[in-house]
Amino acid sequence: MPKANLQYLSETRLIKMLLGFSKADLKQFADFVKSPYFNKNEHLVRLYTFILKYAPHFKHPKFTFEAAFHYLFPDQTYKKEAIIKLCSKLMKLAEKFVIQQQMNDKELKSKLVLLTYYNKANQNDLFESLLKNTRKLNEGGGLRNSQYYKLLFEMESEYAHFLSAKLDDRKGDVNFQATTHSLDVYYLSQKLEQLCQMKNRQQTVSFPYRFDLMEEIMSFLPQSIYYEIPIIQIWYTAFLLLHQPTIAHYQGLKKLIQQHHQLVAIQEKRVLYTYLENSSAQLMGRVERYVELFDLYQLQLQDQTLYSNGYLQPTIFRNIITVALKLKENDWAEQFLKDQQALIMPDYVEKEDMVSFCKALILFEQEKYEEALDFLNLLKYNNVYTKLDERRVRLKVYYELEFEDPFDDLINSFRKFISKNKAQINEVYIDLNRNFINAINAIRKLTYEIENQEIKRNELVAEIKEIQLIAEKDWLLEKLEA
C-alpha cells in the first residue's frame, strides 16, 4: 500500500509494476479490468482509464492522487485514502492478470494439471481424450526448449502411470520408452545450457567450476539419436563455441539460431546471441567484427529478441548506435535514434541524457562538431562510466575544433577524474581511458613537431597498435594515418 506522504501515483507499487508491461500488456490489462468475470468494481475501470492517459512513462505533474480522485469522484471532497485503497485493489488485479497471462502462455502445463486430475478421479475416457488433444497441440509448433521437454516428460510420465495402473495387460512398454526419451532430452538440453553458462561466466570471473560429465556428454551426443533434436544441437554448438572458439562453431551456432528461432524462448535467444557477440571479439578483426555485430543487432531487432517487455536496455540502445557509426552507417543510426528513443526502458533515470549523448555521437561522425558539443553540454550523468565516455567524446571534439586551451584543461581534469574515482572504476576501464588520454595528447603534440615528424608519427602508430587496452583505437589511428 502506498505511504501516506506520497503525492504522485508514479511512486506507487502499482505504477512500478505497470512500467514493466509492454504496450500490448497495457491494452490487454484494460480488457482484463473491464471483464465482469475478473472485476466488478467500476471504480477500478475508471482509475485504470485515468492511469492509461499517462502511459507508458507515467510521469507528469498532473499524475497525482488528487487528480485521480477528482477524475473518479468529481463532486466529492478529496480523500487520498480512497485512491490508496483502489490502487491496492488494482495492484492485486494486475497480479492476477500476470498469473493469467503466464498460464495462457503455458497451455501444456495447464493440460498437465487436468490430466493428473482425470487420472486420480478415474475419468479414463476424459483422460485419453485430453491426452490425444494435448499431443495434437504439441505437434502444431511453439517452443521446443528444455522447459517444454520437462513438461512433456511429466505428461508422458502421467500417461505411463495411467497405463500401468489401469490398463496394464502385461504386454508392451506402457509408455516407459517415451517417458525416458523426453526425460533424456530435458536433462541433456538443460545440462548443456548450464555448462554454457558456467563456461561463459568463467571468461570474466575466476572460479574453479567442475564440468562434471562434460567430456562424456560431448563425446556421446554427435553419434546419438538426440543430436537430431534442434534444442540439443543449439546448446551443444554453443558450448563448442565457448569451449573451443572457431569460425566454424560461430557460423554453426548463428545458422542454428536463425533456422530454429521459433523453437527457442526470447530470453534464451538473447543469451545465445550474447555468446556470438562476445566470441566475435576473439575470432574476427576489428572491421569484420563491427560488420558482424551490426548484422546480429539487426537480426535481433527484427525478431524482437533485444526487447524486454517492448523496451530496449539503455546499454544495448547505445551499443547499436555505436556499432552503426563505426561502419559509417550514419543515416541508419540517426533514423534508429529517431524511431527507437521512446523505447528505452521507461524507468531508466538518465534516459534523456542517453538520447543526447547518442545524438552527440551521430553529430560527431557527421563532422558537426559544434552541434555535438551543444548536446554534450546538456548531459547531467551521475554514472562514473558514462562520465568517462562523455569526456572522451568531448576531448575528440576539442581536438577536431582545435580548441587548444579547453583541450589542455580537459586532459588534466580527465586524469584527475580517473585518479579521484579509481576505487569505483574497473582496472580495465582505467587502462582504456588513461591510454587514450596519453595517445590523443601525443597526437596533438605531434602536429607541432618540425623535425622527424614522419618518423615519430610512424613510431606512434606502431605504439598504439601494440596497446591492447585503449579506447577509440580506430579513431586515433585514423587521425595518424590521414
Q: Do 227 and 203 share a structural domain?
A: yes
In a domain, 394, yes or no: yes
pLDDT tens digits for range 400-452? 999 999 999 999 999 999 999 999 999 999 999 999 999 999 999 998 877 88
Q: Do 393 and 301 share a structural domain?
A: no
Last residue of a domain, one of 105, 131, 150: 105
Q: How far apart are CA 408 and CA 399, in angstroms?
A: 10
Q: Do 148 and 296 share a structural domain?
A: yes
Q: Do 199 and 270 share a structural domain?
A: yes
- The pLDDT, as a whole number, for residue 4 is 47
Q: Do 317 and 298 share a structural domain?
A: no
In a domain, 4, yes or no: no
In a domain, 34, yes or no: yes
Nearest residue to 224 via CA among 189, 259, 269, 179:
189
Q: Do 148 and 265 share a structural domain?
A: yes
Burial class of residue 405, CB neighbours in 10 A (0-12, 13-18, 19+): exposed
In a domain, 464, yes or no: yes
pLDDT tens digits for range 304-314? 899 887 889 99
Exposure pattern of 302-315 as b/e (b: 16+ CB <10 Å)?
eeebbbbebbbebe
The three-class DSSP label of residue 120 is helix
Q: Do 436 and 407 share a structural domain?
A: yes
- The pLDDT, as a whole number, for residue 111 is 84
In a domain, 167, yes or no: yes
Lowest mean pLDDT among 1-5, 83-87, 349-353, 378-382: 1-5
Number of residues that make up the chain: 482
Q: What is the DSSP string of 149-185?
A: HHHHHHHHHHHHHHHHHHS--S-S-TTHHHHHHHHHH
In a domain, 112, yes or no: no
pLDDT tens digits for range 273-292? 999 999 999 999 989 999 99
Cell numbers linked to 38: 475478473
Q: Do 243 and 164 share a structural domain?
A: yes
| Number of structural domains the chain divides into | 4
pLDDT tens digits for range 353-378? 999 999 999 999 999 999 999 999 99
Average pLDDT over every residue of 37-65: 92
In a domain, 416, yes or no: yes
In a domain, 3, yes or no: no
Last residue of a domain, one of 288, 305, 322: 305
Last residue of a domain, one of 362, 379, 396: 379
Mean pLDDT, the chain, rounded, equals 91
Cell numbers linked to 31: 480488457
Count CB-CB contacts under 10 A for residue 189.
26
Give 109's Cβ-side CA count (13 Å radius). Answer: 11
Q: Do 253 and 157 share a structural domain?
A: yes
Residue 345 belongs to domain spanning: 311-379
Work out the pLDDT band at 477, boundaries 50, 70, 90.
very high
Q: How far apart are CA 341 and CA 121, in angstroms?
A: 55
Q: Do 205 and 96 share a structural domain?
A: no
Q: Do 273 and 177 share a structural domain?
A: yes
- The pLDDT, as a whole number, for residue 5 is 60
| CA–CA distances in Å: residue 450 to residues 423, 454, 456 | 41, 9, 10
Q: Do 344 and 318 share a structural domain?
A: yes
The three-class DSSP label of residue 294 is helix
Average pLDDT over every residue of 455-482: 93
